[in-house]
Structures are given as structure tokens and as C-alpha cells.
Amino acid sequence: MCAAIENPAKCEVRAVIRFFTAKGYSAAAIHRELCAVYGPKVMSEGVVREWVRLFKSGRENVHDEKRSGRPSLVTDELFQTVDAKVRENRRFTMAEFVY
């Protein structure tokens, strides 16, 4: 048996699931194939079942959907201020930083 592929991208594994779903494999069979190639910790059988269901219902995209999350607190103004302080004195500490 070949060595397991370590650290596959999520989209890579989902593309394999999509491929096997199109070929008519069951979720359990797909999970066995994934474990044989990527190792036993690649993805749980339940998650494989969910992706099989999504692909059978018409989903084509293997990438994560955009979702709302915590907004970034870094603004261009803050970045430029910090960058200027660092260029002024590369040995400053955070206690000395006041913008």
C-alpha cells in the first residue's frame, strides 16, 4: 500500500467525495477510500455523508461558503501608524506604543 497523503486541502478531499458520489459510491465506501489514501483521521464518516448529501442535492462547489464572522479590527490607518512606529524605532515595546 502507498504511503498516506498527509495534510490534504479540504477542497481536495471534497473533490474526491464529489467524484466518487458521481460514480455512485455509497458514503461508507467513499469513507473507506479516503481513509486508505489520506489516513484514518482525514474526515469522519458522518461528515462524508453530509458532503455526499450536498453533492446529490446539486451542490457543485467544493470550497467553503463565505460566512459572516468577526470583522477585522485592522484598518489601513492603524497599519500605517504601527508601520511608522516600527520604522522609527525597531526596539520599541507595546507598552511604549500609543497612537
CA–CA gap between residue 93 and residue 86 (Å, rounded)? 10
Taking only the tens place, the pLDDT of each residue in 45-56 is 999 999 999 999
pLDDT at 69 over 90: no
- Residue 97 has what pLDDT? 66
- Residue 79 has what pLDDT? 85
- Residue 50 has what pLDDT? 97
Residue holding cell 460514480? 23
Taking only the tens place, the pLDDT of each residue in 73-86 is 888 888 888 888 88
